[in-house]
Amino acid sequence: MFKSTCAFASLALLFSFQASQAQTTPPMTMPMTCTDDDMAKLQTAMEGMSDAPKKDMAMKEMNMAKDKMSQKNNDGCMMHMQNVQKAMQ
């Protein structure tokens, strides 16, 4: 009886730890660079979105990323590309 209670408590603790880890782990995003190739990948992914408000937000961020890329502002471009990824989630 004692062994089964300890085993049950151990499993409960293990599952609760895994659940808390899952809630605090940030979502995975694709590593991006500010290149035409990566922008094309994001553009293709955006075109398949069905959620109109999220798609609009992603398109606005993509346009801002392209603008920053044309200005040779890599940090600004990367920030907006990350925002595109967040809008797609």
pTM, two decimal places: 0.63
Confidence of residue 88 (pLDDT cuts 50, 70, 90): confident
So what's the pLDDT on residue 11? Answer: 53
Q: Quick check: 84 and 54 in contact, CB under 8 A?
A: no
What are 45-86's pLDDT values in tens digits?
A: 888 888 899 999 999 999 999 999 999 999 999 999 999 989
From the number of C-beta atoms within 10 Å of its C-beta (0-12, 13-18, 19+), residue 14 rates as exposed
Of all helices (H) and strands (E), which one includes residue 69? helix 52-70
For 51, residues 6+ apart whose C-beta sits below 8 A from its C-beta are: none
